[in-house]
Amino acid sequence: MEALIVALPGDGIGPEVTAEGVRALRAVERLGGHRFQIVEALIGGAAIDATGEALPEATRSACSGADAVLLGAVGGPKWSDPSASVRPEQGLLDLRAALGVYANLRPVVTHPALYDASPLRPERLAGVDIMVVRELTGGIYFGKKERGPDFATDVCTYQRGEIERVLRMAGELARQRRRRVVSVDKANVLETSRLWRSTATTLFTSEFPDIELEHLLVDAAAMHLLSRPADFDVMVTENMFGDILTDEASMLVGSLGMLPSAALNQERRGLYEPIHGSAPDIAGRGIANPCGTILSAALLLRHSLGLEDLAVVLEQAVFAAVSAGHRTGDIGGGATALGTRAMADAILAELPAG
């Protein structure tokens, strides 16, 4: 197959990890008789510096015409002045909206080789395999914002249809897994959550009677994620709750640098990115963990290109490298920690010969 992929390096460690994600795609291309055309474009702070805009029109149209987009991260102190008229993060939000990628899949899978990188005890981590489905194009991120000298407002709105489509994605994923969905909300306080909860109950009763649906309040869910993580199969939630819960869940795996994500629209075209940010505290030093990005490239192969076998091969290479003891600093590399490039080299060395 031929596929057009747009790579958006962005800011901070974004370019460092994206380079390794692209290299992984190139290595996979050599294995499978596929052709990937990979073009780079500007987003975030890098785009603001070059064009004054966080999502230039050229980037938006390149992404809209692509089969998939692989993004590093955006943002950083240089563009974080509270009075700035344009922010890097807005470019990412606009891109998500433009592509209509409403369902953000964030798999959280622990691996025995990394148990020692997690602050939790190994017996809690065994068998953890959670698919978090985060609503990505609605809620408080996209509501009306207002600011006066002494007040500020962020409106949170959800339409029933927006809730239904992401719940449907969660139900379909659960059918390929262990057939359990936990829907997370704050229905004891928020109207949007009460709509979310009743929509979930109605939809699962009519369309997914074979799937077990449970509701949890978000504060309790944050606790249950640490006390009984192996009990979860699919967890579905609104935009901001999903953002927060997945950074928390990354510590089950061992580091924020390990978690990938796939943001999908109705056509399964996708935006793929590690869940971490631009990590200004380590940017430019070549020490960022590339695993989250390489695993995002694997999700890209799976969900947008339909290359399941190659996705699995790449995922296995990541965990083979980690099992062989190859580590960046964030996952316990210590004095012998590998840099970004060397870690990716160790992963690519685990791929079968092409």
Q: State the residues that interact with ligand NAD by CB under 6 A.
A: 13, 17, 73-76, 89, 92, 256-257, 273, 276-282, 288-289, 292, 330
CB of 242 vs Mn ion, minimal distance in Å: 9
Pairing of strands 270-272, 68-73: parallel
Contact partner, 280, from ligand IPM, ligand NAD, Mn ion, none, Cβ < 5-8 Å per class: ligand NAD
| 248 contacts Mn ion (rule: CB under 5 A) | no
Q: How far apart are CA 293 and CA 313, in angstroms?
A: 15
Contact partner, 8, from Mn ion, ligand NAD, ligand IPM, none, Cβ < 5-8 Å per class: none
CB of 147 vs ligand IPM, minimal distance in Å: 18
Closest to ligand NAD by CB, 87 vs 269, is: 87
Closest to ligand IPM by CB, 45 vs 254, is: 45
Closest to ligand NAD by CB, 146 vs 281, is: 281
| 28 contacts ligand IPM (rule: CB under 6 A) | no
CB of 75 vs ligand IPM, minimal distance in Å: 6
The length of the chain is 354
| 92 contacts ligand IPM (rule: CB under 6 A) | yes
Q: How far apart are CA 133 and CA 239, in angstroms?
A: 9
Q: Which two tokens stand for residue 193?
A: 């959550």
Positions marked active-site: 141, 186, 219, 243, 247
Per CB under 6 A, contacts with ligand IPM among 50-89 are 75, 89
Contact partner, 182, from ligand NAD, ligand IPM, Mn ion, none, Cβ < 5-8 Å per class: none
Closest to ligand IPM by CB, 97 vs 109, is: 97
| 338 contacts ligand IPM (rule: CB under 6 A) | no
Please provide the DSSP assignment of 50-95 as one string: HHS-SS-HHHHHHHHTSSEEEEEE---GGG--TT-S--HHHHHHHH
- Name residues whose C-beta falls within 8 Å of residue 95's C-beta, 6 or more positions apart in sequence: 8, 43, 55, 59, 60, 63, 69, 71, 271
Name 154's bridge partners: 145
CB of 121 vs Mn ion, minimal distance in Å: 26
Pairing of strands 212-217, 180-185: parallel
| 243 contacts Mn ion (rule: CB under 5 A) | yes
Q: Which two tokens stand for residue 23?
A: 């290299």
Q: Which of 40, 154, 243, 345 is in the footprint of ligand IPM by CB under 6 A? A: 243
Contact partner, 257, from ligand IPM, Mn ion, ligand NAD, none, Cβ < 5-8 Å per class: ligand NAD
Please choose, from the candidates 216, 252, 250, the residue with its C-alpha nearest in 3D space to the C-alpha of residue 236.
216
Q: How far apart are CA 128 and CA 259, in angstroms?
A: 14
Per CB under 6 A, contacts with ligand IPM among 312-331 are none
Contact partner, 59, from ligand NAD, Mn ion, ligand IPM, none, Cβ < 5-8 Å per class: none
CB of 92 vs ligand NAD, minimal distance in Å: 5
Please provide the DSSP assignment of 137-201 as one string: SSGGGTS-EEE-SS-EEE-----HHHHHHHHHHHHHHHHTTTSEEEEEE-TTT-HHHHHHHHHHH
Residue 270's SS3 state is strand
The residue ranges that bind ligand IPM (CB under 6 A) are 75, 89, 92-93, 243, 275, 277
The residue ranges that bind Mn ion (CB under 5 A) are 243
